[in-house]
Amino acid sequence: MASTNPLAPKADQESEGSFQNTADMTAFVQNLLVQMQTRFQAMSEGIVAKIDEMGSRIDELEKSINDLKAEMEVDSPIKPNPEEDKPSNESS
């Protein structure tokens, strides 16, 4: 009588194989997501570090510019406006 239902064991094997494929795929996707999250986190930290570095450089540049301005004011007295030195050429 076992020969009357030859598909029964095969159906059980297919459902077990299908379950195993689903479990394998789930594990694969979870592993892939963990890897992506790790890489994304590393990239995010790198970007934030670069932004902080650029902010520090901008601050240093602003300080240097202000120092140069202050040095220029000390080295040379304030010059009068060039337009004030020109004689007026108004003829009526």
Taking only the tens place, the pLDDT of each residue in 3-43 is: 455 555 555 556 677 778 999 999 999 999 999 999 999 99
What is d(CA 16, CA 10) in angstroms, rounded to the nearest whole number? 10
Taking only the tens place, the pLDDT of each residue in 45-89 is: 999 999 999 999 999 999 999 999 999 988 876 665 666 556 556
pTM, to two decimals: 0.52
Q: Is the pLDDT higher at 2 or at 41? A: 41
Please give the pLDDT value at position 2. Answer: 46
Please give the pLDDT value at position 25. Answer: 94
Please give the pLDDT value at position 58. Answer: 97
Q: Report the amino acid identity of residue 27.
A: A
What is d(CA 46, CA 53) in angstroms, rounded to the nearest whole number? 11
CA-CA-CA-CA dihedral for 9, 14, 17, 19, to nearest 10: -110
Compute CA distances 50 → 40, 59, 62, whole Å. Answer: 15, 14, 18
What is d(CA 38, CA 32) in angstroms, rounded to the nearest whole number? 10
